[in-house]
Amino acid sequence: MKKLSFVIMAAAAVLSLQACHSNKDSKGEADSINNAKDVTKGDSLKKDTTKMAMTVDNGDAKFATEAANGGMAEVMMGKLAQERGVSQKVKDFGAMMVMDHSKANDEMTTLAKSKNITLPAVVDADEQKHYDDLNKKTGADFDKAYASMMIDDHKGDIKAFEDASKNLKDPDLKAFAIKTLPTLKKHLDAINEVDKSLKK
């Protein structure tokens, strides 16, 4: 009986470690897979001999994994804002995040599939930590922390998407970055207004 309970406990420990591991390395794992599928290097795969090769270079694939990781995080935190937010403005902004970023995530998933880019299945450890930290807050503290986080996130996103719109080689990924930029700027303007209203 002791042996059986030890086996069950060991299996549970392995499963919990795997769950932690998948979050920690989801984006990194996707980047590694894409790195192996990068035909522009010429050493790992040949364009004409495999269907597994990406049709973009590794730099473009990295943008896709970053965008997917960030987009998933915005949806998670948007849902949390709808549940936890005290201010109606925070709840409404969270709803906009869920709607707009879910749509962008779907577009990126379709685009990545067509280019044979592997995207992360879950958010990485950094985004999960942001979510966990936010999830511990309540009331007005939650609203302020969420608004502050969204301002920082969207400033970073806008910079990344501006760089991508200039530097990506793949025309479809570049078009996605260009098309998404105005939405990100609209989000930043909106959350700045929400943040001001919370400080009154």
Q: What is the pLDDT of residue 112?
A: 94
Cα angle: 33, vertex 34, 35; to 5 degrees: 90
Q: What is the pLDDT of residue 200?
A: 79
The alpha-helical segments, DSSP class H, found in 37-124 are 58-84, 88-115
Residue-range domain boundaries for the chain: 27-198
Q: What is the pLDDT of residue 21?
A: 41
- In tens digits, the chain (200 residues) has pLDDT values of 444 343 333 333 333 433 444 455 566 676 666 666 665 555 444 444 444 677 788 899 999 999 999 999 999 999 999 999 999 999 999 999 999 999 999 999 999 999 999 999 999 999 999 999 999 999 999 999 999 999 999 999 999 999 999 999 999 999 999 999 999 999 999 999 999 999 87
Element (H, E) at 188: helix 171-198
- Distance (Å, rounded) from C-alpha 177 to C-alpha 180? 5
Q: What is the pLDDT of residue 8?
A: 36
Nearest to 77 by CA among 125, 156, 145: 145
CA distances from 65 to 59, 60, 96, 109, 117 (A): 10, 9, 22, 10, 8
The domain covering 27-198 belongs, at the CATH homologous superfamily level, to Ferritin, core subunit, four-helix bundle (1.20.1260.10)
Q: Say which DSSP state 148 is in.
A: H
Q: What is the pLDDT of residue 9?
A: 38
Nearest to 14 by CA among 25, 2, 6, 26: 6
Q: What is the pLDDT of residue 56?
A: 86
Q: What is the pLDDT of residue 55?
A: 79
Q: What is the pLDDT of residue 27?
A: 60
What size, in residues, is the chain?
200
Q: Say which DSSP state 39 is in.
A: G
Q: Say which DSSP state 56 is in.
A: S
